[in-house]
């Protein structure tokens, strides 16, 4: 006897219909109590911080969808029933994904997972045991999800300030802040260089900022910053007699990065910025970097095409043999439940120091 899970696609976009089937192969008639499928997607945060007297454990969880579908048997009574020997029994199921989902990701502080699990309580050697089959749902990570009002942390450049006052001012601007994967970003830089430092190069660095948030014992955050790609610009122009340098650089957005996910009151956020740093020829001075927030990924789809899924092979067992019972327990079959209660958590202002947008500016 064996059983397996099959899905109709290798990868899904947010909002698409997941369709699959559970195949139970029997070598003889078998007795069961219940056969059911659990489909869920969630983000969870989990890390430990060492305190003076004890360790603190920070945790948070966000359920994006959660559904339990009873395929055979009575969910409530769990009365034994028998499946006849017909080689294979096939049970179909489906679930509509929410239109907004984060990409699947894992760090030391949390993870995002989408999965299907099948549970089968079958009689073996005179007692009922539970068999479990698992399968991940691969959701496309190319569609960005941006919620108005999301407050993003502004990186602190004070560690780079060498006390030059107003002698050097660095400004950065971009014609636009939203880019699809594979597009080229254009960055304009202006430096008011009253000290006439020998700046000969400007470095551009695309950074991915992944932050997980906890709900207990209090609202806290852990961030991982990943350097994605670098480029540089050497075509720096001086404005005669003004001590002003101007330059325009480009940075191509890789087509393999995951899209931006910036949502209020979520366990996870994924954002990007471009770190811009002028370089002095002999590295005698370290100028402060400029951080410009950008949004990456394709815009969400407006229409999701529906593709019917037709199972191949043996038909379903006859309903007269057993009657699959839809599971309607509200405590376990949650459908597309989503947001954490915003009233139960402190606001983002308790954590964040600034708002995204505007021209990135640093003064020395």
Q: Sorting pLDDT into bands at 50, 70 and 90, what band is 190?
A: confident
Q: Is residue 340 part of a domain?
A: no
Same structural domain, 184 and 290 = yes
Q: Is residue 342 part of a domain?
A: no
Same structural domain, 189 and 291 = yes
* Domain of residue 277, CATH code: 2.60.40.640
Place of tokens 């003076």: 52
The β-bridge partners of 67 are 39
Same structural domain, 51 and 98 = yes
Same structural domain, 186 and 283 = yes
Q: Which two tokens stand for residue 44?
A: 């969870």
At residue 188, φ and ψ (nearest 5 deg) are -105, 130
For the range 232-235, what are the long-range contacts, defined as Cβ-Cβ under 8 Å and sequence gap of 24 or more? 232/201, 232/202, 232/203, 232/204, 233/189, 233/201, 233/202, 233/204, 234/200, 234/201
pTM: 0.74
Q: Is residue 191 part of a domain?
A: yes
For residue range 264-279, list pLDDT tens digits in order.
889 999 999 999 988 8
Asked which of 243, 263, 297 is the last residue of a domain, the reply is 297
Cβ–Cβ contacts within 10 Å for residue 208, how many? 19
Q: Is residue 194 part of a domain?
A: yes
Same structural domain, 15 and 64 = yes
Same structural domain, 129 and 172 = no
Average pLDDT, the chain: 76
The pLDDT of residue 167 is above 80: no
Same structural domain, 124 and 191 = no
Q: Is residue 122 part of a domain?
A: yes
Q: Which domain holds residue 190?
A: 168-297
The pLDDT of residue 109 is above 90: yes
At residue 349, φ and ψ (nearest 5 deg) are -60, -25
Q: Is residue 308 part of a domain?
A: no
3-class DSSP state for residue 111? strand
Asked which of 297, 315, 348 is the last residue of a domain, the reply is 297
Comparing 65-79, 285-299, 349-363, which segment has the lowest mean pLDDT? 349-363
Q: Which two tokens stand for residue 12?
A: 């899904």
Q: Is residue 307 part of a domain?
A: no
Q: Which two tokens stand for residue 277?
A: 């740093």
Q: Is residue 212 part of a domain?
A: yes
For residue range 67-90, list pLDDT tens digits in order.
898 888 877 777 888 888 777 888
Same structural domain, 130 and 26 = yes
For residue range 138-152, list pLDDT tens digits in order.
999 898 888 876 766
- What's the domain count of the chain? 2
Same structural domain, 187 and 125 = no
Mean pLDDT along residues 228-237? 81
């Amino acid at each position: 006897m064996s059983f397996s899970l099959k899905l109709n696609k290798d990868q899904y976009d947010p909002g698409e219909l997941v369709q699959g089937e559970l195949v139970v192969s029997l070598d003889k008639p078998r007795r069961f109590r219940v056969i059911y499928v659990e489909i869920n997607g969630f983000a969870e945060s989990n890390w430990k911080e060492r305190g003076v007297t004890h360790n603190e454990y920070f945790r948070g969880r966000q359920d994006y969808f959660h559904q339990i579908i009873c395929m055979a048997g009575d969910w409530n009574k769990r009365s034994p029933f028998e499946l006849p020997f017909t080689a294979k029994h096939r049970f179909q199921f489906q679930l509509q994904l929410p239109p907004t989902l984060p990409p699947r990701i894992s760090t030391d502080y949390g993870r995002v997972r989408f999965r299907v699990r099948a549970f089968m309580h079958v009689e073996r050697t005179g007692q009922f045991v539970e068999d479990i089959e698992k399968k991940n749902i691969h959701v496309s990570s190319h569609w960005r999800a941006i919620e108005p009002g999301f407050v993003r942390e502004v990186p602190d450049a004070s560690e780079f300030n060498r006390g030059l006052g107003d002698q050097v001012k660095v400004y950065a601007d971009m014609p636009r802040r939203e880019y699809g994967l594979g597009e080229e970003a254009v960055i304009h830089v202006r430096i008011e260089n009253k000290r006439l430092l020998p700046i000969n190069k400007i470095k551009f660095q695309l950074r991915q900022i992944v932050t997980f948030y906890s709900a207990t014992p209090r609202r806290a955050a852990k961030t991982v910053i990943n350097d994605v790609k670098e480029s540089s610009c050497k075509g720096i122009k001086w404005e005669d007699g003004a001590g002003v340098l101007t330059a325009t650089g480009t940075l191509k957005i890789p087509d393999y990065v995951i899209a931006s996910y910036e949502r209020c009151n979520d366990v996870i956020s994924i954002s990007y910025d471009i770190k811009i740093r002028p370089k002095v020829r002999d590295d005698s001075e370290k100028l402060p970097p400029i951080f410009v927030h950008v949004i990456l990924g394709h815009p969400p789809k407006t229409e999701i095409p529906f593709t019917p899924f037709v199972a191949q092979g043996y038909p379903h067992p006859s309903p007269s043999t057993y009657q699959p019972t839809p599971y309607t327990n509200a405590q376990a079959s949650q459908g597309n439940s989503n947001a954490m209660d915003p009233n139960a958590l402190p606001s983002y202002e308790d954590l964040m120091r600034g708002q995204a947008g505007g021209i990135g500016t640093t003064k020395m």
